[in-house]
Chains A and B, each alone.
Chain A
Amino acid sequence: MTETGATLLHAPRADDDDLARLLLIRHFELALLDLFGRGELNGTTHTCLGQEYVPVALRRLLTEADFVFGNHRGHGHYLARFDDPAGLLAEIMGREGAVCGGVGGSQHILRDRYVSTGVQGESLPVAAGVALHLKRTEPGTLACVFIGDGTWGEGAVYEALNLASLWRLPLLVIVENNGIAQSTPTTRQMAGTVRARAEAFGVRHHGIESSDLSTIRAELAPLVSEVRIEGRPLVAEFATHRLGPHSKGDDTRDPEDVRQARAGDWYRLYGEADPERFARADEAQRAHVDAIVRDVSARPPSRWEP
């Protein structure tokens, strides 16, 4: 992995649909921070600013029959799977139309074959169980679980990797390695590498440096296919960047590190590659999210009726 993470071999390209999805997530996250700033949101939130391209790239490699497990930084995971920013915002704000009636909030979403939890590593054994079930009942489908670099501190990760390898489970582990676990740099909390850890269990590892959607998909497509068909678990590790704080007001990084992260931001790279089209799409999504915020903010509180 390079120091700066998401490097590019050529100018990135995205079709209109991908670009819209990338920018939707970006503006959704910015809107949340704005709502917090104005005291309109409770609790906390973990934005995926800088990492939006990871779930968007995976979107076309996954099918509706696959399970996806999001994590604490999961708004992008959800929005890449469902075109439902209003439902997610209502969930976070506890308003009518919320995905889970407002009782799940930012980190605990359950919808069809999408599940998220904020507790680090807890999803992995669950995903392994789902993958075992899929292998037996729906061959060709898989369980995809998003984790971070910090999650590798949790023992549950290793219990799950062991099972996945031992039982040849169709488990796709996506590691969004943004180099920092809340406030602790990965170099200060991880000995060795994710690759070596995966390989210790006989689980294949693939590292991804690019933020270009087509490059990522070209690299991953044959590997994901093997996960499905051969039940060969895969750890795909993205070298990415978290542009914002962990939640709010807890960014202890050196400003130079943050500056470097911003320099590698896909938003800037995509903007430079095709300025006019990008600007149009950017403005469209900004307006789209503004309208959703106005709509959802005006709704009455959600009701939970099991």
Chain B
Amino acid sequence: MTTLTLAKALNEGLRRSMEDDSKVLVMGEDVGKLGGVFRVTDGLQKDFGEDRVIDTPLAESGIIGTAIGLALRGYRPVCEIQFDGFVFPAVNQIITQLAKMPLRSLGALKLPVVVRIPCGGGIGAVEHHSESPEAYFTHTAGLRVVACSNPADGYSMIQEAIRADDPIIFFEPKRRYWDKSEVDLTATGLPLDQARVARPGADITLLAYGPMVKTCLEAAAAAAEDGRDIEVIDLRSLNPLDMGMVAESVKRTGRCVVVHEAPVFTGYGAELAARITEQCFYHLESPVLRVGGFSTPYPPSRLEEYYLPDLDRVLDTVDRAFAY
């Protein structure tokens, strides 16, 4: 076992993928000499050369478009979008080409492109640097959408994503980049589309992904002191969704709260609430409740503590679920 930060674990995963397959390319703004603004690609250009780790112009649409062309020719490009808020210029290419081309060919055409996006807030950043745009992509048929929450998953999930033949939007919780934990560099992780029980519990199910998994674990630890036994599920894959694990857990606990940073209104939690209602209706002791951001643009850094779900907001919502 090795102790790694999430950023370093992703770096190691990318390195391993590049060693294993010469078709893997890394491209993006400042990913080369600088190693990316979060240093996730640190040292890769030095070790794999400028042909495989490519500093691009500031052209998100062009980056994804070029990656699509490279994938058409058999490469496996891993594109870094520097910050969540910069992905929007690329959305045209992602939705119009990347998601649809393989479907238009009825799956005959593979586009193994991974789009890495540092996501979420909590680092005191400026506008465009703290967003949670996952629902735009989960809404788009033809894309797989995943989110890692810890170093071990970062290491294995990035390799799984690069190995997969589908276009994948890969979210990395930027405020957890510096969190450390043990990583087994020899282990094979879970399949990419499987959720994970981050903490078993009997009384209520918390569903989270990316940055909010840690927040939910902290909330569960606090609630345990009051004798409440919370189960935390790290979804890992948002599309496809591991509904089997979700339904099994909610049927067992009878209560469910969904937690994400993105605004609650038509957020990813709405889909979860709808599906759980459909599949677990007779087991539910209370409605599925949601904790998330507000329907405003992401606020200035001095206000983000009010915007981001924290331990108190999660526990208040858990209390509401038990009040029914």
Q: What residues of chain A have their CB less than 8 Å away from a CB belonging to chain B?
A: 42-44, 94, 102-108, 118-121, 150-156, 181-184, 188-190, 250, 252, 301
Contact = CB atoms under 8 A, between A and B. Distances in A.
Contacts, number: 78
B37 interface: yes
A162 to B, nearest CB: 16
| Residue from B128, B299, B300 whose CB has the most chain A CB atoms within 10 Å | B300
Contacts of B301: 42-43
Interface stretch (B26-34, B111-119, B206-214, B308-316): B26-34
Contacts of A153: 56-59, 62
A184 B32 contact: yes
Contacts of B62: 153, 155
B57 A190 contact: yes
A105 B127 contact: yes
B107 interface: no
B305 to A, nearest CB: 12
A104 B299 CA distance: 9
Interface in B9-61: 29-30, 32-34, 37, 55-59, 61
| Residue from A150, A184, A301 whose CB has the most chain B CB atoms within 10 Å | A184
Contacts of B58: 120-121, 150-151, 153-154, 181, 189
A44 B302 contact: no
B124 interface: yes
Interface residues of B, number: 26
B109 interface: no
29 contacts: A42-B124, A42-B125, A43-B126, A94-B300, A103-B299, A103-B300, A105-B126, A107-B126, A107-B127, A118-B126, A118-B127, A118-B128, A119-B89, A150-B57, A151-B58, A153-B56, A153-B62, A154-B57, A155-B89, A181-B57, A181-B58, A184-B29, A184-B32, A184-B33, A184-B34, A189-B55, A189-B56, A252-B33, A252-B34
Contacts of A119: 85-86, 89, 128
A144 B105 CA distance: 46
A65 B134 CA distance: 42
Nearest to B61: A155
Nearest to A148: B58
The A interface is mostly helix, strand or loop, or mixed, namely: loop
A106 B126 contact: yes
Contacts of B129: 43
Interface string B274-309: 000000000000000000000000011110000000
A42 B130 CA distance: 13
Contacts of A94: 300, 302
Contacts of B302: 42, 94, 102, 301
A155 B56 CA distance: 13
A44 B82 CA distance: 14
B56 A250 contact: no
| Residue from B32, B126, B301 whose CB has the most chain A CB atoms within 10 Å | B126
A43 B55 contact: no
A94 B56 CA distance: 34
A119 B125 CA distance: 14
A301 B302 CA distance: 9
A102 B127 CA distance: 12
Contacts of A183: 30, 33-34
Nearest to A190: B57
Contacts of B57: 150, 152-154, 181, 189-190
A95 to B, nearest CB: 10
Interface in B46-99: 55-59, 61-62, 85-86, 89
B126 A102 contact: no
Nearest to A182: B30
Contacts of B33: 183-184, 252
A188 B124 contact: no
A153 B61 CA distance: 10
B46 to A, nearest CB: 12
A43 B124 contact: yes
B82 to A, nearest CB: 9
A153 B62 CA distance: 8
| Residue from A43, A102, A106, A250 whose CB has the most chain B CB atoms within 10 Å | A43
Given A121-B58, A155-B59, A189-B56, A102 B300 contact: yes
Contacts of A152: 57
B122 to A, nearest CB: 12
A258 B32 CA distance: 20
Give 9 closest A-B pairs by Cβ, nearest first.
A153-B57, A43-B126, A42-B301, A183-B34, A153-B59, A153-B58, A42-B124, A120-B58, A189-B57
B197 to A, nearest CB: 36
Given A119-B89, A184-B55, A189-B57, 9 more contacts: A42-B125, A103-B300, A104-B127, A118-B128, A153-B57, A155-B61, A182-B29, A189-B56, A250-B37
A288 B34 CA distance: 36
A120 B125 CA distance: 17
A119 B29 CA distance: 14
Nearest to A94: B302
Nearest to A101: B300
